[in-house]
Structure 1
Amino acid sequence: MEHQVPVALVVGVTGITGLSLAQALKQPHCLGGGPWKVYGAARRPPPNWFPLSTVDNFITFNAVNSTDTLGKLSPIAGEVTHLFWVTFQFLGDEEANIAVNKAMLQNVLTALTSTPSSRLTHVTVQTGTKHYMGPIHDPGNKSIVLNGHAPPFHEDMPRLPYPNFYYALEDLVASHAPSLSYSVHRATIIIGASARSAMNALMILSTYAAPPPPVAVPLPGSRYTWEHFCDMIDARVLAEQHVWAAVTERGKNQAFNCTNGDVFTWKSVWRVLSEVFDVGFVELDESDEFDLVELMCDKGAVWDEIVEKHGLEKTKLEEIACFEAIMPVLRFGFQHVSSMSKSRECGFFGHADTFKSIRFWVGKLREMKLIPSYEYVAKANGYH
C-alpha cells in the first residue's frame, strides 16, 4: 500500500512557535514520514520576513468567525491529518480569554471534522506554565504573587481555582477523544524569532537593549528573580516535542511540560544579552528600580526611526513587544522551573543550551531584519 504523506495545518504559523514548527515538519527526516505537507494559517497575510518556502500553502482566515473558518478550511478538510494549535488571542480579562480562544479552536475543529472525508487524527495544543501559576497577566488580579503550585511544576498537579483559558482548551480537545487523539504542550518562556508574538521575551528585551541606550543598561526586576532559577524553551525544541507527541503512541492524550532542560538566573541572561548587544553589564540595584512599561511607553517614535534608518522590517513597537507581559516574569517570588521527567519517561529527549539559544535567536532576529545588526548597536554605543 502506498505511503500517505502526513498533512499538517499549523494555526499560528507566523508566531514564535509556528515558524519553527513549519520548518521542522518540512525536514526530510521529520518524524511521521517527513517531509510533511504543511498548510500554514494566520489571521493576517504573511509578513515579508516569513519564509513562504516553509509551507506548501498559506491560508489567511479569522478563527473567531465560524463562517470564514469553514469557508477557508473546508477545501482541505479531506487532507489534514494533524492540527497544530500554536495561537491565542489575549484580551486581558481571563473570562474573555476563555470565550474567544475556545471559540477559535472549536471553529477550526468543526471545519476539519464536519466532512465525511475528514482525515484528522491528532490535535496538539500549546499552553504554558500559567497552568500552574494562575492568571499572572489578568488586570483584575493586582497581586503578582498568586496562590499557585510550588515548583518544580509537574503535569499531574491539580488545576488551580482560577479561570484559565488553558484549562478550557484542554477540556475541548479531550472531549473529542477517542475520535481524535491530542497532546497538550505546557511551554515555559519561549525563545524564538517572530515579530507577531508580542509576548516574545527575547524580542521584548531586544527592543529594550538594541536601540542606542546609555553605555550601561539596567534590567528591571527583583533581587529574587535576579539570583534564583528560571527556565526557557527554544522554539525548535518545542516544535520537536509537538511533532513527537503527534506521531508517537506514548505522546497521545497527555500533557507535557517543555523546557530546554537547563536553568538560568536572570542575572546570567542579562550578562549574555549585554555581550550580544555590546552594552555594559549592570548589577541589579533595587534602590534604583524603574518601571519598564513607563520607560518604553513613549519610545515608539524612536523605534520608527531605527526601523527606517537601518532598513528593518516595518514594525511598530507596541505590536512586537508587550512590556507589561515581561514585568511579572522579572518579579516572580518563586523559582519558575518545570520538571521534564514525564517527557523523558515517555521517550522525548529534546534539549538545548539556553545561552546558546539566546545567541542563536538574536542572530536570527538580526538576519530577519527585525532588530538592528551588531555593527549598528556597537557603533551606536561608541565601542568601535
Structure 2
Amino acid sequence: MENTRVTLIVGATGAAGSRILERGREQPGHTVIGLSRNKPVGEALWLATDLDDPQQLAEALATRPDIGRIVYASRAPHDETGVEDVPGNLRMLRNLVDAAEASLPRLSHIHLVHGAKWYGMHIGPYRTPAREGDPRHMPPNFYYDQQDFIAERQQGRDWVWSTSRPNFVLDVAPGRARNMVSTLGAYAALCRELDVPFDFPGRPGTWNALHEVTEAKFLADGILWMLGEPRCANRAFNMTNGDAFRWGELWPFLAEQFGCRPGTVRPMSMAHWMAGKEEVWERIRERHGLALPLDQVASWRFFDFFMGMDYDVLCSMTAAREAGFTGFANSWAVFADQIAAYREARILPPA
C-alpha cells in the first residue's frame, strides 16, 4: 500500500538515523522524512520539532498525515559508558507515539533502534552468542522500558512494532568523536608522530575475546528490511555484521592499515595517557591539512570502554536469518574501507 512507503526517521542526524535516512532515500518509490530538533541546511523533507514538547510534536506530525512508518533512533543526552536516562528516553518515545496515534491515520509500523546493551554487554560477561529471548540483566536499562511500553501500547492497534539490536556501530561520521575507527586512527597517528609502537591498550583478556561490530549501512538495510517484512511484526532482532574477530588477530592488520609498528598488549587508560596530546595532534593536523581538532576525532573514554571488555561480545543472527534476512558485512573490510574514507575526508592522516 502507498501509505507504507512514507517513512519518518526520528533522530535523523544521529549515528544510526543518518544512515537509515540515506539508505531509505536510495530505495525506489520511497519517501523518507527526517525529524530532529534542528532542520539541516538544504533539507526539504524534514520536520524540526522537540520530542520533549508534545504539542509542538503533534503539530509537526500533523503536517505529514501520509507517514506510515516510523524509525525511532533518538536518545536522551548521555555519556560514553554510563547508565542512560531511563525516564527521559521513555518520555520522548511516549510523546512520539501519542502524537503519531493522534496525527497519523496511516500508521503501520514503529521501529526502535536499540543495541547490545540489552544483554548487559556494558556491565560484564553475559551468555553468548546472545539471543533475543535471553533473560534481562538487572535494570536500569531504558531499552527494557521502551520495548515494554511499545509492546503494551500496540495491543489492539492496527500498527506493529519491531526493534533492532546492533553492536558497536561503525560509520564514517566526521565530527562524531564517539567512533571506533576514527578514535583508533587518532591513536595510531599519535603513536607514529611520537615514534612509539602501536600498543594494544586493552586488557589481556580483551585481546583474545571474540568481538563483533555493526556497519552502519548494513544496519540501515536491516531496519528497512524489518519495516517491509511481515515476519518481523512485534519482534526484536539482533543486527550485527554476522562475523566475529579477536583483537589479537585484527590488531596487526590495523597497524598495517595505519602504517604503524605493531606493539604488544600494554593495558593503559587512554583517558589518562592521551590527556594533553592535543599539541601533538595539531602538529599532525598542520602537516597534513586535517580538518578537525582531536576532541572531534577521538573519544578516549569510549576507547577505554570497548577496550575493557575482556569477555566475548557476540550476538546470534539466527532469528533474522530464519525470518529471511540474508545481509552480511565483512568486518575486516569495513575497518579498511572506513579508514580509507576518513583519510579521504582529511580527518585522519595518510599512512
TM-score bracket relative to the smaller structure: 0.7 to 0.9
Residue equivalent to 1:132: 119
For residue 227 of structure 2, the aligned residue among 236, 246, 252 is: 246
Distance 1:295 1:71, change over 3 A: farther
Contact 2:7–2:67 (CA<8 Å) still a contact in 1?
yes
Deviates more, 1:169-178 or 1:299-308: 299-308
SS at match of 2:218: helix
* C-alpha RMSD of matched pairs (Å): 2.7
Distance 1:237 1:308, change over 3 A: same
For residue 108 of structure 1, the aligned residue among 72, 93, 96 is: 96
TM-fit CA distance, 1:94: 6.7
Q: Return the alpha-carbon distance in structure 2 between the equivalents of residues 66 and 328 of structure 1.
A: 35
Work out whether 1:182 is the aligned partner of 2:145. no
Q: Which runs of 4+ in 1 moved over 4 A?
A: 2-5, 92-96, 300-313
TM-fit CA distance, 1:122: 0.8
Q: Return the alpha-carbon distance in structure 2 between the equivalents of residues 281 and 221 of structure 1.
A: 14
Residue equivalent to 1:265: 246
SS at match of 1:9: strand
For residue 201 of structure 1, the aligned residue among 180, 198, 201 is: 180
Q: Return the alpha-carbon distance in structure 1 between the equivalents of residues 294 and 145 of structure 2.
A: 31
TM-fit CA distance, 1:319: 5.0
For residue 294 of structure 1, the aligned residue among 272, 279, 284 is: 272
TM-fit CA distance, 1:174: 1.4
Q: How many residues align?
A: 346
Contact 1:184–1:255 (CA<8 Å) still a contact in 2?
yes
Q: Return the alpha-carbon distance in structure 1 between the equivalents of residues 295 and 39 of structure 2.
A: 19
For residue 122 of structure 1, the aligned residue among 81, 88, 109 is: 109
Work out whether 1:210 is the aligned partner of 2:189. yes
SS at match of 1:226: helix
For residue 38 of structure 1, the aligned residue among 4, 15, 32 is: 32
Contact 1:8–1:38 (CA<8 Å) still a contact in 2?
yes
TM-fit CA distance, 1:171: 1.6
> Any residues of structure 2 matched to 1:1-384 within 5 Å, and which?
3=2, 6-27=5-26, 30=27, 34-46=28-40, 57-76=45-64, 78-91=65-78, 97-115=85-103, 117-133=104-120, 136=122, 145=124, 149-178=126-155, 179=157, 180-195=159-174, 197-211=176-190, 213-215=193-195, 216-285=197-266, 289-300=267-278, 303=281, 310=288, 312-313=290-291, 315=292, 317-318=294-295, 321-369=298-346, 371-374=347-350, 378=351
Which blocks of at least 5 consecutive residues in structure 2 are unaligned?
A: none
% of aligned pairs identical?
26
Q: Return the alpha-carbon distance in structure 1 between the equivalents of residues 288 and 29 of structure 2.
A: 36
TM-fit CA distance, 1:163: 0.6
Q: Return the alpha-carbon distance in structure 2 between the equivalents of residues 46 and 308 of structure 1.
A: 29
TM-score calculated relative to the size of structure 2: 0.87
TM-fit CA distance, 1:241: 1.0
Contact 1:15–1:197 (CA<8 Å) still a contact in 2?
no
